[in-house]
Amino acid sequence: MTVTFPQKGLPWLLLLPQLVVTAIFFLWPAEQALEQAFYQEDAFGLSREFVGLENFIDLFTDPLYYESMLTTLVFSFSVAIGGMSVALLLAVMADRIIRGKLTYQTLLIWPYAVAPALAGVLWWILFDPSMGPIALWLDNIGIDWNHYLNGNQAMILVVIAATWKQISYNFLFFLAGLQAVPRSLIEAASIDGASPFKRFWTIVFPLLSPTTFFLLVVNLVYAFFETFGVIDATTKGGPGQSTTTLVYKVFDDGFVGLDLGGSAAQSVILMAIVGLMTVIQFRFIERKVQYS
């Protein structure tokens, strides 16, 4: 039990800045979104009328919304699983190495610091249909690459850019997880004649499962909410709707399409999703603390 100070007014003073900022820039807008979701507004913002659940009904009867949900799921799981697999492979290799581990780590972690929008631009020029070296090489081996026209290819481009940025994060956590695996277990297996490959799948990988699960949640959150820049700077959600994730759609419908009610309704749904994911993340982390 921590010893405390007796002052009664002081703590409120200390909390004031955080509470004021939270109230003005978080709670108020959230409340506005909640309210707006039940209104229909004309494009000039001059008048609005209460429409009840109509915005939500519109949303859930709109095939484009389901399409966007599917896009989000495909995008998020591709980013999460792609990034984690590459990072795990690299981390396992780095864990084996005795000298030079830190150098490898340095050379692998810097993409974390690159803004998502910049990551998008960097990969865009590699894949630009008219001049990008990778696109031209793909043409040579018979794949006609044009992410301006082909929705699947646009998706591949944003997945690669978003994954590239996240590998460093996964790598660090996997490496830490691997270093926590007790050496004695691996030694014992080795004496019993298990090959490195078998040791990895039967001992190391199962012991890594808390890290893996944690990273899965973090990566999904990342792909859901923090990849706006990648999409906005490269494909702008297109071609058609093929890279319009839910978060991009909130922005697109609100600022480009000026459908404020619809955008607000989507905001409300997204808030519910973030809430759910935060709870999952926290419950899991609590458990990790308990059993470790």
Partner 1 sequence: MIENRPWLTFASHATLLVGIGLVALPVWMALVASTHPASAFGAGHIPLWFGDAGGQTWGNVLFEKAGNGVDTPVFWMMLNSLIMALGITFGKIAISLLSAYAIVFFRFPFRNLCFWIIFMTLMLPVEVRIVPTYEVIANLGLLNSYTGLTLPLIASATATFLFRQCFLSMPGELVEAARIDGAGPWRFFFDILLPLSRTNIAALFVILFIYGWNQYLWPLLITTDDAYYTLVMSIKRMLSVTDGDIAWNQIMATTLLAMLPPVAVVIGMQKLFVKGLVDSEK
Judged by CB under 8 A, the chain residues 243 through 272 that form the site for partner 1 are 247, 250-251, 254-255, 260, 263-264, 267, 270-271
Supply the minimum distance, in Å, between the C-beta of residue 164 and partner 1: 7
- Residue 275 CA to residue 73 CA, distance in Å, equals 17
Q: Shortest CA distance to 217 belongs to which of 134, 267, 282?
A: 282
Q: Shortest CA distance to 156 belongs to which of 148, 147, 166?
A: 147
- Residue 173 CA to residue 274 CA, distance in Å, equals 22
Q: Taking CB under 8 A as the rule, does residue 204 contact partner 1?
A: no
User: Considering only residues 12, 60, 201, 213, which one is a binding residue for partner 1 as defined by CB under 8 A?
Assistant: 12
**DSSP symbol at 245:** -
Rg (CA), the chain: 24
Q: At what angle do helices 133-140 and 116-127 cross, to 10 degrees?
A: 40
Per-residue binding string, partner 1, 156-195, x by CB under 8 A, is: --------x--xxx--xx--x------x--xx--x-----
50 phi/psi in degrees, rounded to 5: -75, 125
Q: Which stretch binds partner 1 (CB under 8 A): 16-24, 46-54, 61-69, 204-212?
A: 16-24
Tokens representing residue 180 in the block: 């926590």
Q: Taking CB under 8 A as the rule, does residue 207 contact partner 1?
A: no
User: Considering only residues 70, 115, 149, 256, which one is a binding residue for partner 1 as defined by CB under 8 A?
Assistant: 115
Supply the minimum distance, in Å, between the C-beta of residue 186 and partner 1: 6
Q: Which stretch binds partner 1 (CB under 8 A): 48-56, 57-65, 67-75, 88-96?
A: 88-96
Q: What residues numbered 20-59 form the site for partner 1, per CB under 8 A? A: 21-22, 24-30, 32-33, 36
Nearer to partner 1, 152 or 195 (CB): 195
Q: Taking CB under 8 A as the rule, does residue 85 contact partner 1?
A: no
* Contact predicate 134/126, CB 8 Å: yes
201 phi/psi in degrees, rounded to 5: -75, -30
Q: Taking CB under 8 A as the rule, does residue 8 contact partner 1?
A: yes
Give me the residue label for tokens 């659940």.
53
Distance of CA 71 to the CA centre of its chain: 14
Q: Taking CB under 8 A as the rule, does residue 228 contact partner 1?
A: yes
250 phi/psi in degrees, rounded to 5: -55, -45
Q: Taking CB under 8 A as the rule, does residue 112 contact partner 1?
A: yes
Supply the minimum distance, in Å, between the C-beta of residue 49 and partner 1: 18
Q: Which stretch binds partner 1 (CB under 8 A): 48-56, 71-79, 149-157, 221-229?
A: 221-229
Distance spanning both ends of the chain, measured CA to CA: 22
Q: Taking CB under 8 A as the rule, does residue 213 contact partner 1?
A: no
User: Considering only residues 43, 47, 50, 131, which one is a binding residue for partner 1 as defined by CB under 8 A?
Assistant: 131
